[in-house]
């Protein structure tokens, strides 16, 4: 419970600092660059690089691939039924399909399941959600020409490097591994801070498409996965973390590529804000009651 309340405290602190003007957009831009270009790659190098690939649950990654493609198909159908215009439909698909497996999923997985749970969350995010986001996600946002942009994304390069070093049996020296770990662990509090600071309460007015997005992203898709797990008898810790990651709110990075490809960024931020607030509220209340 203490870890969940700490996450809530960081989230609320970010809200307050942003609302009072003590934290501004330029500060958040620097933090985003630090997390995406440095701390998250460091965490990837330490976590994936140190995995025993022979015992790693790669079925988690396969499940994530299936979840993302199913989410894209479901959100496309729902968006068409709602008669969303092209730019908003693309954003609706992005925010409904891709969960915030890193910025919210990592801290919550660690808080609920400890370091072992975090390692499964990293597999789901880095080897499952992330490759699909860099291909299908960029394709949804900007068409086939945009897919090649992912090759310059630092976390993706870190994933390739970590897998290469792991397969080659190359390990970092203990001091260097420790330093990488220090920087990597800064990802957890900073990502929650970024989510809290990015929340815009004034963007929550377009309630119908936002509610539809969250219903698909945080209820329908996890519920379908839960039914599949029940049918297959999957109930261990790896699958609990997988279900948790699948139920996360919309990914913060969807707003970044929505801006990059001149889509409806405000709608993306609205869905991310509403989903993040709902997620933090649910976990805080449940931790207090239980």
The arithmetic mean of pLDDT across residues 114-119, rounded, is: 86
The arithmetic mean of pLDDT across residues 212-216, rounded, is: 95
**DSSP characters over 206-221:** -HHHHHHHHHIIIIIH
The pLDDT tens digits for 149-183 are: 667 778 778 888 888 888 888 888 888 888 888 88
The arithmetic mean of pLDDT across residues 96-103, rounded, is: 88
Cα dihedral 123→129→131→137 (10° resolution): -170
pLDDT at 55: 67
pLDDT band, residue 68 (cuts 50/70/90):
very high
Rounded Cα–Cα distance for residues 2 and 110 (Å) = 12
- Note the pTM of the prediction, 2 decimals: 0.80
Give all domains of the chain, ordered by start, each with its CATH number.
2-289 (1.20.1530.20)
The pLDDT tens digits for 216-253 are: 999 999 999 999 999 988 888 999 999 999 999 998 77
In this predicted structure, the answer to whether residue 98 has a pLDDT above a threshold of 70 is yes
In this predicted structure, the answer to whether residue 70 has a pLDDT above a threshold of 90 is yes
From 75-79, 97-101, 255-259, the region with the lowest mean pLDDT: 255-259
pLDDT band, residue 56 (cuts 50/70/90):
low
- Spatial CB neighbours of 10, under 8 Å, sequence gap ≥ 6: 189, 192, 193, 196
């Amino acid at each position: 419970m203490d870890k969940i309340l700490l996450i809530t405290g960081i989230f609320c602190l970010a809200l307050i600092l942003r609302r009072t003007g003590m934290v501004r957009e330029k500060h958040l831009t620097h933090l985003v660059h630090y997390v995406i270009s440095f701390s998250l790659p460091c965490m990837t190098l330490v976590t994936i690089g140190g995995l025993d690939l022979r015992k790693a649950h790669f079925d988690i990654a396969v499940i994530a691939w299936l979840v993302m493609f199913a989410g894209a198909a479901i959100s496309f159908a729902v968006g068409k039924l709602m008669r969303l215009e092209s730019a908003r439909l693309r954003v609706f698909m992005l925010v409904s399909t891709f969960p915030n497996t890193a910025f919210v999923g990592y801290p919550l997985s660690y808080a609920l399941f400890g370091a072992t749970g975090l390692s499964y969350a990293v597999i789901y995010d880095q080897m499952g959600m992330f490759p699909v986001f860099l291909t299908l996600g960029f394709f949804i946002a900007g068409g086939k020409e945009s897919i090649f942009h992912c090759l310059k994304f630092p976390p993706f390069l870190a994933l390739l490097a970590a897998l290469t070093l792991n397969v080659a049996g190359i390990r970092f020296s203990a001091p260097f591994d420790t330093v990488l770990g220090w920087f990597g662990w800064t990802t957890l509090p900073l990502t929650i801070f970024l989510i809290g600071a990015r929340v815009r309460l004034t963007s929550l007015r377009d309630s119908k498409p936002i509610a539809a997005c969250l219903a698909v992203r945080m209820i329908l898709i996890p519920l379908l996965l839960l039914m599949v797990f029940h049918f297959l008898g999957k109930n261990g810790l790896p699958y609990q973390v997988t279900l948790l990651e699948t139920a996360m709110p919309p990914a913060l990075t969807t707003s970044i590529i929505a801006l990059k490809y001149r889509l409806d960024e405000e709608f993306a931020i609205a869905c991310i804000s509403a989903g993040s607030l709902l997620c933090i509220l649910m976990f805080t209340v449940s931790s207090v009651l239980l």
